Structure 1
């Protein structure tokens, strides 16, 4: 005659352990390989989103004799003992280092949006350089010492030539994002919803220079 469970004993312990082992096996054989491949393609902004995807992968094409698993269950032992190291190996424990990795990936991937952001930073840097060059050229024109020093003027001209080359390179590399309107001497930023124009005091130096080159 089969004996019942003793007082205080969990009579479902054996079936619970079997269910846990079956889930762990599915995690090891199906979930972990898929999540490793996803980590190269998808950024999970936090641990919760990663756990949600783990649960989604686990529940996909689930055998009829196996119950679906929730994100909360995934987050607990022993399941997170299997999946947690995958997450932390990729992102690390420090959110700041995680953010640095994301930025590095963004710069390398060069999607359209990333091109725009990179271009905007370059435009900002070039604008500052342009202001400095305009000031330096103006001071050179007013300074008799600088006028007599042909080497100094040549260096300024070379700097300006180099700056124009950088601008032309960026415009060509990001085709369609920045428009050079030579007829109206205007540089337009198409990445901006308002199609903002570079102030004329900055743009005029560019057009004046390319006009001299073409002449």
Structure 2
């Protein structure tokens, strides 16, 4: 009997020792998880859930390096956004931005780099082979032109201009060059409800008021109804 009690005592002490040693590790795991969540939060825009500029740039660069010519950079600019804020209020404007963020996330998928660059300007970098490009950009245009229903029941008619740039079409895999070309292509189709694919010419389009003006002679996809 004494031997049984001594054995139980040893087991109990060992269990207590292991449990005590595990407590700091468990506490650190919880702390690390909290830090990870905080870090993830700093990488994302709280309104749209999209990546902030720095996080988007880093992830976009990795996607370009991994997928090369099968990569596409898409620039999106909300049309008439100021009018929404002025006539329907800033909460309505926030709802529109949040809706655009959700639609871009759904369209691009979890492996893409989808970011809010500022205000009503967005960018997405994703793997998108040439044979699927036209269909997918048409799909994006349709999604972005779907009205947004507010919590109070009002409906906001929304639209967005879309420009895209692929390394093979632009002649560069540099993120900055692709972004310039996609932005210039976007302005070729501004307010027209279409997606425009950039060419090499768009890389050299001069800037107007801080934004790049587009040129004719580009491929156009997805005119909204």
Q: Which structure is richer in relative contact order (CA contacts within 8 A, separation 6 or more)?
A: 2
Query: TM-score with structure 2 length normalisation?
Result: 0.27
Q: Which has the higher strand share?
A: 2
Query: TM-score with structure 1 length normalisation?
Result: 0.28
Q: Name which one, 1 or 2, has greater alpha-carbon Rg.
A: 1
Q: Which has the higher helix share?
A: 1
